[in-house]
Amino acid sequence: MSDEVWKRAEIASPCVKLCTIHPETRLCLGCARSIDEIATWGRMTPEERQKIITELPEREAAPKRRRGGRKARQPD
């Protein structure tokens, strides 16, 4: 598939084509945007998009804690 489909010159999108929403955080694992942000991206003003792009490095799309294994089974 051509990358041209993913490019829209009028909108600077942080999409990296890894579109999977984490069930707990409800953020995309690829770009860290919420479902609502992704859905309304095309209707946002450049200022609204820039605000979100600025916040993305601070977001954790997936929790960094361990979910299983021996440590998860041990009492605290």
What is the SS3 assignment for 29?
Answer: coil
Q: Is residue 73 part of a domain?
A: no
What is the SS3 assignment for 21?
Answer: strand
Q: Is residue 31 part of a domain?
A: yes
Token representation of residue 29: 């694992």
> What is the extent of the structural domain holding 8?
3-62
Q: Which residue has the tokens 């579109």?
A: 19
Report pLDDT for 54. Answer: 94
pTM: 0.69
- To the nearest whole number, what is the mean pLDDT of the chain? 84
Q: Please give the tally of structural domains in the chain.
A: 1
Q: Is residue 67 part of a domain?
A: no
The pLDDT of residue 16 is above 70? yes
Q: Which residue has the tokens 């490095």?
A: 57
Q: Is residue 69 part of a domain?
A: no
